[in-house]
Amino acid sequence: MTTTEVIIVGAGPLGLELAVALKRARIDYVQLEAGQIGQAILDWPAMTRWFSSSDRITIAGVPIQSVSQEKCTREEYLAYLRGVVMQFDLDMCTYERVLGITRKDDLFTVTSRTRVGTMCKRAARYVVLTTGGMAAPNRLGVHGEDLPHVSHWMADPHTYFRRRVLIVGGRNSAVEAALRLYHAGTKVSISYRDAAFPDKVKYWLRPEIEYLVKTGRITAYFETVPIVILPEHVELRPVGGGRHMSIPADFVLLMVGYVADMSLFRQVGVELSGVRDVPVYDEQTMQTNVPGLFVAGTATAGTQQSGVRVFLENCHVHVDRIVASMTGNPPPPTPEPVSLPEA
Ligand SMILES: Cc1cc2nc3c(=O)[nH]c(=O)nc-3n(C[C@H](O)[C@H](O)[C@H](O)COP(=O)(O)OP(=O)(O)OC[C@H]3O[C@@H](n4cnc5c(N)ncnc54)[C@H](O)[C@@H]3O)c2cc1C
């Protein structure tokens, strides 16, 4: 079994930023990624734009420049990540999922499975979990959720041209999908459990969605929840009671958030608090209650429901804290919270 100083689990933007920092600090590491680098972003619908401005999502000090000066698209950002990996010549094992972590005599054993099913075991002094917070969509648990025309992800907007789509949800991803599909010639309706779109809807999306709803171009069923999904329509129940509505829909998009997979944390003995499974860790070092086991990135927040507060853009400091802790240096100062409206 090979032994290394650090094993990084996950190669999302934060895991990659950490890899660059370890390389710069000449600390030996191995990076294991279940999918491709930036897999969570690769899973976004084509041409989705980041909500954060580009300077907030750059990693390792490498600037992002775009031809349009707009916020980055999924495609631009994935190309950027590939460029960072090439620039720093980062080594990593992609398509290799970590299945187990155990700790004995101050050494971790990390078990993983490659794409072709080969089982691997590696030992390390430190493990950093940068496994993100969006392992799977949040399920509503309604009858019909698994029908083929129902999805938690928007496909290419072309898919829905001149068809009826019901979007369930009212936060940024749902609103953005509604606008994109409307402009792609789709008959869009929205079911949202609250009485209006929440304050958190981005300021550049809100005026347009409100205008399209007000003018009847998009139909919004506020204060409703789906109770059954059938092949050609969805039954909505008003939250406050009353008559159910039957809404025709050729496709149904359930855009109601994601859940984190905290099974590795649980398995290795990290304490998880509350219903969101938030790992317990020291804010100055990012070390969990398991000595030598660190957490970084959006994984620090467990499952983020009813309001996402931890994003890539406010996680960069985790990298400096971890490297400082591993090299015996004092932790970096805590950055001032950013009050940009897009943050
Ligand atoms: C539509 C949309 C828009 C968004 N816009 C923004 C935005 O504007 N600004 C922002 O800051 N955030 C935004 N986010 C959230 C963004 O995706 C996260 O902030 C970012 O990806 C977090 O990076 P991370 O490295 O912490 O985790 P992730 O990017 O989730 O990376 C985790 C990695 O770990 C890997 N992994 C998980 N389990 C294992 C395992 N067992 N073994 C090996 N590898 C594993 C995963 O495959 C993944 O590649 C948005 C999300 C969505 C869906």
* Distance from C-alpha of 70 to C-alpha of 63, rounded to nearest angstrom: 14
Q: For strand 2-9 and strand 119-129, is the pairing parallel, antiparallel, or unpaired?
A: parallel
Confidence (pLDDT) at 100: 97
Confidence (pLDDT) at 210: 97
Cα separation values, 146 from 24, 149, 160, 181, Å: 46, 8, 18, 22
Model confidence pLDDT, tens digit, residues 150-205: 999 999 999 999 999 999 999 999 999 999 999 999 999 999 999 999 998 989 99
Confidence (pLDDT) at 339: 63
Quote the percentage of the chain above a pLDDT of 70: 98
Q: Which residue among 131, 173, 258 has the greatest number of ligand 1 atoms within 8 angstroms of its CB, and so is best to mutate? A: 131
Tokens 């928007």, residue? 154
Model confidence pLDDT, tens digit, residues 87-132: 999 999 999 999 999 999 899 999 999 999 999 999 999 999 999 9
Q: What is the atom index within ligand 1 of the atom nearest the CA of 16?
A: 25
Q: In the chain, which segments carry CATH 3.50.50.60?
A: 2-136+258-327, 139-254
Architecture of domain 2-136+258-327: 3-Layer(bba) Sandwich (3.50)
Measure the CA angle with vertex 47, ends 316 and 16; round to 5°: 25
Please, which pLDDT band fits residue 335 given cuts at 50, 70 and 90?
A: confident
Mean pLDDT of the chain: 94
Lowest-pLDDT choice from 33-37, 66-70, 210-214, 322-326: 66-70
CA of residue 185 to ligand 1 center, whole Å? 30
Q: What is the atom index within ligand 1 of the atom nearest the CA of 131?
A: 34
Question: Does the pLDDT of residue 314 top 70, yes or no?
Answer: yes
Give the number of other Cβ atoms within 10 Å of residue 232's Cβ: 10
Confidence (pLDDT) at 67: 84
Quote the percentage of the chain above a pLDDT of 90: 87
* Distance from C-alpha of 82 to C-alpha of 90, rounded to nearest angstrom: 10
Confidence (pLDDT) at 343: 56
Pocket of ligand 1 (CB under 6 A): 9-15, 32-35, 39-41, 44, 48, 50-52, 57, 97-98, 130-132, 134, 173, 264, 297-298, 311-313, 315
Q: What is the atom index within ligand 1 of the atom nearest the CA of 314?
A: 11
Token pair belonging to 274: 């509350």
pTM of the predicted protein model: 0.94
* Distance from C-alpha of 39 to C-alpha of 32, rounded to nearest angstrom: 12
Q: For strand 251-254 and strand 119-129, is the pairing parallel, antiparallel, or unpaired?
A: unpaired
Please, which pLDDT band fits residue 5 given cuts at 50, 70 and 90?
A: very high
Three-class SS state of 136? strand
CA of residue 178 to ligand 1 center, whole Å? 23
Model confidence pLDDT, tens digit, residues 224-237: 999 999 999 999 99
Residue whose CA is at the smallest distance from ligand 1 atom 30: 132
Phi, psi of 158, rounded to the nearest 5 degrees: -55, -35
Question: Does the pLDDT of residue 34 top 80, yes or no?
Answer: yes
Q: Which residue among 134, 266, 267 has the greatest number of ligand 1 atoms within 8 angstroms of its CB, and so is best to mutate? A: 134
Q: Which has the closest alpha carbon to 15: 31, 26, 27? A: 31
- CATH number of the domain at 139-254, out of 3.50.50.60, 3.40.718.10, 3.40.50.20, 3.90.226.10? 3.50.50.60
Confidence (pLDDT) at 341: 59
